[in-house]
């Protein structure tokens, strides 16, 4: 489980060494025992009630029983410490002094609300129990006191219903059914139409239900009621929904929950009373305006549960929505004005947007609860920037308040929240955004549909380089197999289109051109929608909301770049990707995968000619055809990224990936390259590898076929000289040799690169500065970094393969069972999503230390998919890397995460 981060323990003493335990902290009357920074002890709710009391705000007096009591209660078979009772009685006596009412007294009885409250807000863990202290006697006293029998008996039935559900364990629906039956008998629609006599009858039926279910009457002893509610609040910490919430949000089980006990204030005491929930700013847009809803003559759950339609708090909101009902601002101007002033005061005090619950009882305003408000990603960004500009927080605090991952929603289309969803499958949310289109299964159909003006979604069992043309024209990609770093996921993230990968329940039949999930069958041409944020595949076309980059986004990014130390590059091999990355603030290319350049139309066939060549002469002839194509690509990249470094990785994947595998495709390719079908089949068979991940690839190809290195580096150097002359900007090529594990491998390839460079510079008569380095993607390379750094001028961690080879797990197959590991608690996170700092991370630290020992000026970066993941970026900052490189659309995320990592490092030091 998660670890406590709120700076306190849940042990409580009176401040003396080994003194008695202080279980109860009181507040009210302008003072309190606690403070806002005591969340671990008092829970978030209790700490802030204490803080607001100390600020002199109108908070109903009460007391908080600490989280330590919950821990004790659960650890001792639901027993209470001996000294708890006296402390509660003392707190109740203080309540009597502040309120003028006494708990358990028939004359002017005190009524209480009970709420659990953990150190971190956990919505829905336990709802409030209101009106505690009502029984058959005190309800009559309340009716006479207020001269409002209907209010009194409505409050009593609410208490019985809440207590029966949360303490006695009777299904809430059984109580609701009784109310609905009475309303049907009386031909009434709203609860508010029921009379005092109606509620009296309902109360008797409630008590009969409890007696029938439990064989015990509803408790009339108010102290028995109180202890029952305290026990229920503590027990709620171990409810199924609380356990699930803690697991999802990484909240530690040993925190426990506090119990907040407050004097009741009644929002249902007639037309001069109301209850409301408000936000100090708009939670959807972040606009600085008070928003919220209220109900007259109601208690809190009426607003929260939607039993009645609430009204607008402000006049502006009422007018904007065309509501005929008066706003609270119009109906109750004095308490509303007081509340607005309190909102401003609390925003300045807490320096954040807040959600507040409040009640007006007979015209008197009472603040019941404060919490940090939930908000959309768009609102979070605007609020952080606005508050910094208003002087409430610093620019550094604003940067820390925006979740880097939330920027995905600002950079990509998202599905409309109100749209109907028909989910047919679910996989991994491999690339963010949303898209709709006509379902296709083949590249040729993707291109055909697109040429006819139709948007497409490409569905494949898994993708390969053969599918890149179709992926480029598709709006989104879905695969039945593959993980977060599969071919489909990586390419989609690079192109900024949504991808759902590893949707294992999908069955794709290429012959019938169908996608089947259970009984659902979809055909080519059917409309389908992908949600890359949730990993859902949806039937039909779902309405979307377009991304919008605001002025606040630009402002935040300006602050970010003034803070971060890590440089941010992009992974790109096309001008389109490079331009997108530059627009997003990339400071160079950290990974140019040259093999992707060979997949374009008109090039794949030449590449295949080279692969099937049986001797060096035929291979060089094909390479000479590729040379001008590769040179043009490099030149365009150098021009686009003028003045920034570009790291070019030499050919990396096994050669068989460029060849077809299906019989029909083999025949077609054989005709295209002008060889016999059996010759091509024989060559494919010869290149087949049982484990290509660890096979003939990377520098191993360069050693076997050095002429490929010479062609690529010649194209690179010629393009660099051409671009430098054309743009007038310096060109900084960095040549990366992949899959090195032995120093001598790098030296063999480096000698070919240097020799080619000399030839190009001699022929042109111009000098060119360049670097040669390697990708650290094998454990041996990390361990041998000191030796390798003697020949390498830079390292770039290829963490996708380093994770594979460290774990011995295929990244394409891991998706099938990593989810089982996560559910079982074997691992806390997917190592292909976030760097495994204990294993892969230790290898990286070793490589950094040993590499810089041999070469202190060694530049070190990361170009695996982890380069765009916030937690991984934080680790890269911690171990002193120089840059991270990621797909173009993740560049803003990486910039923000890098700035936050810098700030956290400063905090640590």
Q: Is residue 886 among the annotated active site residues?
A: no
Bridge-based pairing of strands 732-737 and 771-776 is parallel
Residues 269 and 259 sit within 8 Å (Cβ to Cβ): no
For 808, which DSSP code?
Answer: T
Helix axes 663-673, 604-612, angle to 10 degrees: 90
Q: How far is CA 887 from CA 547, 586, 638, 653, 779, in A?
A: 18, 10, 18, 19, 24
In degrees and rounded to multiples of 5, residue 381 shows phi and psi of -65, -50
CA distance 151 to 195: 9
Q: Is residue 48 among the annotated active site residues?
A: no
Bridge-based pairing of strands 536-539 and 527-531 is antiparallel
Residue 144 CB partners (closer than 8 Å, separation 6+): none
CA distance 514 to 759: 55
CA distance 657 to 395: 49
Residues 266 and 273 sit within 8 Å (Cβ to Cβ): yes
CA distance 522 to 527: 9
Residue 500 CB partners (closer than 8 Å, separation 6+): 425, 426, 427, 428, 429, 430, 476, 477, 478, 479, 530, 531, 532, 535, 536, 537
Helices (H) and strands (E) counted in the chain, each on its own, are 36, 32
Block residue for tokens 């089947």 = 516
Residues 133 and 110 sit within 8 Å (Cβ to Cβ): yes
- DSSP annotation string for 780-831: HHHHTHHHHTTT-SEEEE-HHHHHHHHHT--TTTTHHHHHHHHHHTS-SS-T
CA distance 226 to 428: 47
Q: Which of 487, 596, 656, 866 is catalytic?
A: 487
Q: How far is CA 521 from the centre of its chain?
A: 32
Half-sphere exposure of 60 (CA within 13 A, CB side): 26
Q: Which of 234, 863, 876, 886 is catalytic?
A: 863
Residue 332 token pair? 């109750």
Report long-range pairs for 766-770 (Cβ below 8 Å, ≥24 apart): 766/721, 768/717, 768/720, 768/721, 768/724, 768/731, 768/733, 769/730, 769/732, 770/717, 770/720, 770/732, 770/733, 770/734, 770/735
Using alpha carbons, select from 461, 344, 425, 458 the residue that is nearest to residue 392: 344
Residues 697 and 653 sit within 8 Å (Cβ to Cβ): yes
For 406, which DSSP code?
Answer: G
For 482, which DSSP code?
Answer: -
CA distance 500 to 296: 47
Helix axes 196-214, 149-166, angle to 10 degrees: 20
Residue 470 token pair? 């179709």
CA distance 877 to 900: 10
* Residues with catalytic function: 487, 863
């Amino acid at each position: 489980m998660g670890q406590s981060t709120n700076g306190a323990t849940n042990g409580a003493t009176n401040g003396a060494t080994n003194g008695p335990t202080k279980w109860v902290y009181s507040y009210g009357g302008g003072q309190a025992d606690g403070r806002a920074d005591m969340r671990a002890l008092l829970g978030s709710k209790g700490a802030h009630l204490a803080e607001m009391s100390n600020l002199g705000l109108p908070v109903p007096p009460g007391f908080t029983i600490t989280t330590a009591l919950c821990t004790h209660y659960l650890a001792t078979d639901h027993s209470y410490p001996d000294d708890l009772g006296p402390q509660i009685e003392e707190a109740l006596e203080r309540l009597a002094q502040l309120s003028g009412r006494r708990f358990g007294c028939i004359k002017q009885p005190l009524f209480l609300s009970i709420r659990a409250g953990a150190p971190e807000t956990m919505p829905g863990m336990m709802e409030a129990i209101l009106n505690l202290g009502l029984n058959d006697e005190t309800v009559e006293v309340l009716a006479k006191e207020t001269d409002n029998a209907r209010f009194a008996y409505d409050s009593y039935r609410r208490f019985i219903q809440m207590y029966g559900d949360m303490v006695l364990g009777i299904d809430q629906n059984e109580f609701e059914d009784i109310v609905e039956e009475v309303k049907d008998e009386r031909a009434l629609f709203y609860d508010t139409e029921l009379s005092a006599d109606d509620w009296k009858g309902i109360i008797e039926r409630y008590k009969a239900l409890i007696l029938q279910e439990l064989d015990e009457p509803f408790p009339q002893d108010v102290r028995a009621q109180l202890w029952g509610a305290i026990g229920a609040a503590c027990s709620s910490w171990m409810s199924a929904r609380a356990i699930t919430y803690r697991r999802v949000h990484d909240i530690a089980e040993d925190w426990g929950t506090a119990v907040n006990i407050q004097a009741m204030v009644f929002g249902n005491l007639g037309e001069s009373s109301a209850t409301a929930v408000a936000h100090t700013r708009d939670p959807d847009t972040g606009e600085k305006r008070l928003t919220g809803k209220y109900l007259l003559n109601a208690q809190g759950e009426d607003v929260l549960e939607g039993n009645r339609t609430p009204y607008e708090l402000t006049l502006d909101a009422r007018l904007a929505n065309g509501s005929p009902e008066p706003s609270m601002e119009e109906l109750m101007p004095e308490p509303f004005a007081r509340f607005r002033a309190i909102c401003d005061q609390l925003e300045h005090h807490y320096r954040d947007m807040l959600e507040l619950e409040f009640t007006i009882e007979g015209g008197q305003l009472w603040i019941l609860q404060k919490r940090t408000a939930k908000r959309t990603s768009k609102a979070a960004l605007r609020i952080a920037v606005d508050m910094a500009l208003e002087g409430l927080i610093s620019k550094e605090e604003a940067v820390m308040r925006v979740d880097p991952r939330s920027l995905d929603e600002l950079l990509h289309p998202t599905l409309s929240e109100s749209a109907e969803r028909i989910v047919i499958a679910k996989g991994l949310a491999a690339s963010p955004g949303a898209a709709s289109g006509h379902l296709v299964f083949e590249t040729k159909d993707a291109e055909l549909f697109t040429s006819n003006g139709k948007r497409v979604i490409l569905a494949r069992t898994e993708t390969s380089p053969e599918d890149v043309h179709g992926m480029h024209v598709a709006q989104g990609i879905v695969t039945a197999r593959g993980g977060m770093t599969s071919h489909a996921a990586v390419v989609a993230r690079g192109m900024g289109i949504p991808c759902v990968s590893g949707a294992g329940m999908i069955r794709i039949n290429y012959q019938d051109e169908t996608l089947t999930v259970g009984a659902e069958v979809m055909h080519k041409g059917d409309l389908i929608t992908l949600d890359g944020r949730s990993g859902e595949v949806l039937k039909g076309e779902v309405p979307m909301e377009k991304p919008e980059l605001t002025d606040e986004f630009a402002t935040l990014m300006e602050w970010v770049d003034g803070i971060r130390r890590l440089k941010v590059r992009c992974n790109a091999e096309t001008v389109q990707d490079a331009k997108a990355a530059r627009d997003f603030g990339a400071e160079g290319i950290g990974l140019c995968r040259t093999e992707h350049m060979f997949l374009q139309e008109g090039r794949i066939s030449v590449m295949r000619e080279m692969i099937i060549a049986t001797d060096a002469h035929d291979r060089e002839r094909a390479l000479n055809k590729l040379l001008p194509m590769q040179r043009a690509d490099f030149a365009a990249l150098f021009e686009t990224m003028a003045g920034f470094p570009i790291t070019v990785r030499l050919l990396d994947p096994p050669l068989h990936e460029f060849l077809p595998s299906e019989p029909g495709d083999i025949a077609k390719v054989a005709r295209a390259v002008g060889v016999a079908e059996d010759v091509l089949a024989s060559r494919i068979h010869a290149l087949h590898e049982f484990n290509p991940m660890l096979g003939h690839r990377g520098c191993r190809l360069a050693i076997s076929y050095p002429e490929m290195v010479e062609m690529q580096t010649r194209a690179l150097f010629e393009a660099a000289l051409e671009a430098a002359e054309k743009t007038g900007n310096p060109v900084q090529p960095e040549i990366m040799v992949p899959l090195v594990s032995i120093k001598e491998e790098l030296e063999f390839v480096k000698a070919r690169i240097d020799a080619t460079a000399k030839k190009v510079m001699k022929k042109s008569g111009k000098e060119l500065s360049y670097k040669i380095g390697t990708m650290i993607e094998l454990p041996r390379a990390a361990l041998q970094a000191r030796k390798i750094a003697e020949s390498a001028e830079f390292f770039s961690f290829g963490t996708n393969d380093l994770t594979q080879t460290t774990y011995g797990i295929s990244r394409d197959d891991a998706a099938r069972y990593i989810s089982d590991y996560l559910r079982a608690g074997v691992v806390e996170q997917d190592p292909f999503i976030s760097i495994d700092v204990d294993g892969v991370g230790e290898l990286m630290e070793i490589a950094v230390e040993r590499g810089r020992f041999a070469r202190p000026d060694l530049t070190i970066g990361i170009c695996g998919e982890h380069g765009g993941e916030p937690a991984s970026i934080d680790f890269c900052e911690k171990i002193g890397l120089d840059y991270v490189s990621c797909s173009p659309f993740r560049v803003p995320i990486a910039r923000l995460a890098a700035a936050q990592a810098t700030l956290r490092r400063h905090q640590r030091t």
